[in-house]
């Protein structure tokens, strides 16, 4: 699969002088609510009006969307504002109904992306469509699964493609609703540099007061756009109330957000960035050298444990090290989240080395 610049032509055709903004309520609730939000957004940086028609919920009993009766509401909003309209589809029937109501952009949600059968079913219905199709990352942090969904859409002849980064579920406690795991999105960018990549800070944060911070991080990483849930009275929303902002808040956000250049062509910038990157390269080499030496010590520990018939995992020792490293990291300006990730990875590699010794 080769993603070409033609696959992002749909974004270029919008002729925007700012990042793409997709905004609107988490769920379509009533026709009045849809029209109120759309009219608030029509003279802003928003280019696409979004609303959930079908809402997959984690557990039964919650509001699962108004269903197909909401699609004419989106059409009416488009006619009144000129905004493109977008909604989530999870089944072939959803796709058929969305196409019948001329929805411009269809996105596939995280819960659907994890199921290759479901993605293929949607791709089959969309075969050779001229609609814009966006694929959210799967719930779990699996780049291959995300790319697999993209391949299914691409192989179905869908030319107008894009990906939505909405964060990943994690068992560990986090300040985010879904951990951003930015490196996964960066790996996707590196693999497909011409692919449109949009960030969904609403689902990453789950909290409206964190949306601007994460939006800025996405723009700093050269994302093409943002999808932000917006509601006139968010505290009264029928779903995901905590992560929706008001139209006025959204408009102010785009006054405050800084759009970064992809580079700077001055000699001063290139000289200084080259010098700093050389320093980074040197530190990275030293890090690998130290880690290699550390793992040799782990091998020796494994041999000693095998000789004395001692279990590999020593929880007390591990917890002691982790607590100390978190404190030491804070003194060196490193976040607890970063230190945990680093030392969990190092600890797992140490266990892997010791397990090889045991075999």
Confidence check: pLDDT of 352 > 90: yes
* pLDDT-wise least confident of 49-58, 160-169, 324-333: 49-58
In a domain, 278, yes or no: yes
On whether residue 53 sits in a domain, the answer given is yes
Same domain, yes or no: 129 and 240: yes
pLDDT of residue 38: 98
Residue 262 is assigned to a structural domain of this protein? no
Across 194-215, average pLDDT: 97
Q: Are 223 and 281 within one domain? A: no
Q: Say what the pLDDT of residue 215 is.
A: 98
Q: Is residue 279 part of a domain?
A: yes
Which of the listed residues 232, 256, 280 is the one where a domain comes to its end? 256
Does residue 199 lie within any of the structural domains? yes
Domain end point (choices 256, 283, 311): 256
Of 237, 240, 236, give the one whose Cα is nearest residue 211: 240
With beta carbons less than 8 A apart as the criterion, state whether 96 and 107 touch: no
Considering the domain architecture, whether residues 246 and 337 belong to the same structural domain is answered as: no
161 and 92 inside one domain: yes
Which residue do the tokens 């892997």 mark? 352
Is there a single domain that holds both residue 13 and residue 73? yes
Q: Please indicate, yes or no, if residue 248 is contained in any of the structural domains.
A: yes
Given a contact cutoff of 8 angstroms between Cβ atoms, the answer to whether 192 and 228 are in contact is no
Instruction: Give the domain CATH number at 350.
Output: 1.20.59.10
- What CATH number does residue 131 fall under? 3.20.20.70
- Cα-flanking dihedrals φ and ψ of residue 258, to 5°? -105, 125
Spatial neighbors of 259 by CB under 8 A, at least 6 apart, are 18, 19, 219
For residues 168 and 293, membership in a common domain is answered with no
- Residue 212 belongs to some domain of the structure: yes
Q: Which residue has the tokens 């990730």?
A: 341
What is the percentage of the chain residues whose pLDDT exceeds 70? 100
Mark whether 297 and 352 lie in a shared domain.
Answer: yes
**Do residues 90 and 98 make contact, with C-beta atoms less than 8 angstroms apart?**
no
pLDDT digits (tens, 9 = 90+) for 84-120: 999 999 999 999 999 999 999 999 999 999 999 999 9
Structure token pair of residue 271: 């000289």
Rounded (10°) angle between helices 116-125 and 92-100: 30
3-state class (DSSP) for residue 137? coil
Q: Which residue has the tokens 């919650």?
A: 62
pTM: 0.85
Q: Are both 281 and 231 inside the same structural domain?
A: no
Q: Could you tell me if residue 261 is inside a domain?
A: no
CA separation for the pair 335, 234 (Å, rounded): 32
H or E stretch covering 257:
none
Interval 270-296: pLDDT, tens: 999 999 999 999 999 999 999 999 999
Instruction: Give rounded-to-5 percent helix, strand, coil for the chain.
Output: 55, 10, 35
Q: 78 and 45, same structural domain?
A: yes
Contact 246, 232 (CB under 8 A): yes
Q: Is 33 helix (H, G, I), strand (E, B) or coil?
A: helix
287 and 337 housed in the same domain:
yes
Q: Are residues 252 and 340 in the same domain?
A: no
Residue 61 in this model has a pLDDT that exceeds 80: no
Range of the domain at 334: 267-358
| 214 vs 259: CA distance, rounded Å | 13
The answer to whether 105 and 48 have CB atoms below 8 angstroms apart is yes
DSSP state, residue 209: G
Q: Which of these three, 230, 256, 282, is where a domain ends? A: 256
- Residue 248 and residue 271 share a domain: no
342: CB partners within 8 A, 6+ apart: none
Distance CA 88, CA 53 (A): 7
* Residue 73: predicted pLDDT: 98
Total domain count, the chain? 2
H-assigned helices in 21-115: 31-41, 71-81, 92-100, 110-113
């Amino acid at each position: 699969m080769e993603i070409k610049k033609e696959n992002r032509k749909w974004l270029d055709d919008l002729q925007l002088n700012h990042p793409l903004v997709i905004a609107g309520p988490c769920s379509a609730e009533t026709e009045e609510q849809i029209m109120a939000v759309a009219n608030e957004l029509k003279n802003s940086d928003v280019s696409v009006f979004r609303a959930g028609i079908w809402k997959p919920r984690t557990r039964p009993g919650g509001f699962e969307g108004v269903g197909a009766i909401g699609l004419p509401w989106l059409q009416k909003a488009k006619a009144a504002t000129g905004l493109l309209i977008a909604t989530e589809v999870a089944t072939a029937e959803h796709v058929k109904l969305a196409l019948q109501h001329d929805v411009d952009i269809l996105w596939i949600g995280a819960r659907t992306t994890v199921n290759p059968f479901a993605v293929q079913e949607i791709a089959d219905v969309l075969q050779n469509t001229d609609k814009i199709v966006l694929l959210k990352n799967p719930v779990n942090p699996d780049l291959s699964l995300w790319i697999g969904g993209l391949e299914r859409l691409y192989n179905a002849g869908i030319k107008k493609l894009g990906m939505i980064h909405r964060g990943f579920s994690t068992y560990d406690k986090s300040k985010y609703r879904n951990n951003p795991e930015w490196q996964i999105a960066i790996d996707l960018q590196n693999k497909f540099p011409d692919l449109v990549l949009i960030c969904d800070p609403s689902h990453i944060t789950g909290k409206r007061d964190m949306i601007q911070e994460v939006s800025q991080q996405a723009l700093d990483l050269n994302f093409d756009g943002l999808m932000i849930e917006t509601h006139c009275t968010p505290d009264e929303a029928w779903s995901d109330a905590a992560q929706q902002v008001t139209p006025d808040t959204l408009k102010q956000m785009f006054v405050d957000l800084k759009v970064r250049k992809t580079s700077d062509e001055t000699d001063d910038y290139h000289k200084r960035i080259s010098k700093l990157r050389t320093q980074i390269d040197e530190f990275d080499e030293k890090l690998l050298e130290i880690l290699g030496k550390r793992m040799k010590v782990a091998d020796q520990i494994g041999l000693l444990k095998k000789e004395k018939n001692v279990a590999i995992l020593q929880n007390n020792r591990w917890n002691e090290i982790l607590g100390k490293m978190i404190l030491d990291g804070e003194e060196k300006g490193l976040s607890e989240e970063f230190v945990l990730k680093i030392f969990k990875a190092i600890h797992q590699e140490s266990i892997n080395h010791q397990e090889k010794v045991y075999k």
